[in-house]
């Protein structure tokens, strides 16, 4: 027989109040009567928040399971405090028809450790030409459309895509890159690239396309979500679009507020991603855009690659780093501890904000909401050890970094999907008396 689980003595992520939260059958419930049988997890003042959501993850299935699988990618997500990820369709084959959307969802139901929301391709084969069947893709379960990994080069195709996406009620996630400007480039254009004699990619390769898509959002009324914004000029485009009231949102990733192109050092392929790490001026502009609310939400762009792929010479190694298991700590260590954001403001960008951007059901920690939760120790100190990742990918520039903040427990759909070894597992006990500020 099912019985409620109670998380006792947690700190509410918004109010800071100490409270108990109960859930049963996948939903948050009113606290059980004091003394009733329950499973009790002693939170001892850890911060309880809605489960984190990552709108930009590469799970690599179908077809690239040596790099990652739905099972390993969602296990990494759960360990990082995530209860939902949206996965990109640049797999092989490309997720460009309803059958593959259903395949991903089926795989996630069988092997997933968190909710998986497929993003379907905008164009057939992500070739930038013929549009896919947006309504059928939505019906199959796609939450957004993207040719991520590739830009939609033709403005005319993007215009038509936005017109249809508006009718389908889906956002288009833009991988903003002018391939003529980025051609042959492997890192940010600037002094470091010059020193290493690597061809650079200017920020304008991203910002001219971000600008274009803001204009097309105005023309069509279709919703654009600008992916992985990395540089000052793109953030200016997004800020301008918001001022004009256009249906445009945007995300950035932890590596853009923590690192600059100097991390490439001596051809370190672990610091190679697309868009590339930028200048210190860009990094500061990213933080400014986070603080002033220009950036709607955070995402990891989790992109696992094989060790052998990343071991190649810099100009041959693939773009991308893993991110699910370091995202929360990089947020707490480099945005909250220095005072750029409050804990609540930072968690908002990983919880409510991404749910809003993709129209996912809200989690307010109120009775009736999905039991999608994360219990966080904001002060826990740990050192990044890629060998301990649940992800198949080990490609991170943060190996060996001391960080603050950890997901101590993750609950998805009422099940514990992650429990840190430092936390005692939930045990049978009489339900506690409801504490102050209990979920209503
Ligand atoms: Zn991309």
Summarised one tens digit per residue, pLDDT across range 203-251 is 999 999 999 999 999 999 999 999 999 999 999 999 999 999 999 999 9
Which residue, 324, 281, 341, is CA-closest to 83?
Answer: 324
- Tell me, what's the pLDDT at 85? 98
Confirm or reject CATH 3.20.20.140 for domain 51-358, answering yes or no.
yes
Query: Residue 425 C-alpha to ligand 1 middle, in angstroms?
Result: 38
Question: H or E element: which one contains 216?
Answer: helix 204-220
How far CA 36 is from CA of 40, 225, 417, 438, in Å, comes to: 11, 47, 25, 16
CA 296 to ligand 1 centroid distance, Å:
17
How far apart CA 346 and CA 350 sit, in angstroms, is 7
Cα distances (Å, whole numbers) of residue 110 to 25, 26, 107, 113 = 18, 17, 5, 9
Q: Of 86, 92, 108, 100, whose CA–CA distance to 132 is shortest?
A: 100
The one catalytic residue in 301, 352, 369, 377 is 301
pLDDT per position as a tens digit, 61-80: 999 999 999 999 999 999 99
420-429 burial, b at 16+ Cβ within 10 Å, e below that, comes to beebeebeee
Q: Check residue 436 and give its pLDDT.
A: 53
The question of whether 301 is a catalytic residue gets the answer: yes
For ligand 1, the distance from its centroid to the CA atom of residue 180, given in whole angstroms, is: 16
Q: How far is the CA of 227 from the centre of ligand 1 (A)?
A: 6
Confidence at residue 438, expressed as pLDDT on a 0 to 100 scale: 46
Cα end-to-end span (Å), the chain: 25
Domain segments of the chain: what residues?
51-358
Nearest to 214 by CA among 203, 226, 202: 226
Rounded CA gap, 319 and 176, in Å?
15
**CB within 8 Å of 278: residues ≥ 6 apart:** 188, 190, 203, 230, 231, 256, 260, 261
Phi, psi of 286 (to 5 degrees): -65, -45
CA of 369 to the centre of ligand 1 (A): 32
In this prediction, the residues of the chain whose per-residue pLDDT falls under 70 are 1, 434-440
pLDDT value, residue 1: 52
């Amino acid at each position: 027989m099912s019985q409620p689980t109670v998380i006792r003595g947690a700190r509410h992520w918004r109010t800071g109040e100490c409270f108990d939260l109960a859930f049963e059958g996948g939903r948050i419930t009113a606290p059980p009567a004091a003394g009733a049988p329950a499973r009790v997890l002693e939170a001892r003042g850890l911060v309880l928040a809605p489960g984190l959501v990552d709108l930009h993850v590469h799970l690599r299935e179908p077809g690239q399971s040596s790099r990652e699988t739905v099972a390993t990618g969602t296990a990494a997500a759960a360990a990082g405090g995530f209860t939902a990820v949206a996965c990109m369709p640049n797999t092989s084959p490309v997720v460009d028809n309803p059958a593959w959307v259903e395949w991903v969802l089926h795989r996630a139901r069988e092997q997933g450790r968190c909710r998986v929301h497929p993003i379907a391709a905008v164009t057939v084969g992500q070739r930038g030409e013929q549009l896919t069947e947006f309504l059928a893709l939505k019906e199959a379960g796609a939450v957004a459309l993207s040719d991520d990994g590739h830009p939609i080069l033709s403005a005319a195709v993007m215009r038509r895509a936005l017109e249809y996406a508006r009718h389908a009620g889906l956002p288009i996630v833009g991988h903003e890159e002018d391939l003529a400007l980025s051609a042959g480039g492997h890192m940010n254009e600037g002094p470091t690239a010059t020193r290493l004699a690597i061809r650079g990619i200017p920020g304008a390769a991203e910002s001219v396309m971000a600008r274009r898509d803001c204009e097309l959002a105005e023309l069509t009324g279709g919703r654009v979500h600008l992916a992985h914004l990395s540089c000052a000029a793109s953030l200016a485009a997004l800020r301008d679009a918001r001022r004009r009231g256009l249906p445009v949102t945007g995300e950035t990733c932890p590596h853009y507020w923590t690192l600059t192109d100097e991390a490439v050092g001596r051809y370190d392929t672990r610091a190679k991603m697309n868009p590339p790490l930028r200048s210190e001026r860009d990094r500061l502009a990213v933080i400014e855009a986070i603080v002033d609310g220009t950036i709607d939400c955070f995402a990891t762009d989790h992109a696992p690659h094989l060790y052998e792929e990343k071991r190649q010479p810099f100009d041959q190694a693939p773009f991308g780093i893993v991110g699910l298991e370091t995202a929360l700590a990089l947020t707490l260590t480099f945005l909250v501890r220095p005072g750029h954001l409050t804990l609540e403001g930072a968690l908002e960008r990983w919880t409510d904000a991404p749910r809003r951007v993709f129209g996912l059901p809200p989690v307010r920690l109120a009775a009736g909401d999905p039991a999608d939760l994360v219990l966080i120790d904001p002060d826990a100190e740990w050192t990044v050890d890629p060998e301990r990742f649940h992800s198949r990918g080990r490609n991170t520039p943060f190996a060996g970094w001391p960080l603050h903040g950890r997901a101590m427990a993750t609950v998805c759909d009422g099940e514990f999907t992650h429990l840190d070894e430092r936390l005692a597992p939930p045990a049978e006990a009489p339900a506690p008396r409801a504490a102050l500020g209990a979920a209503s």
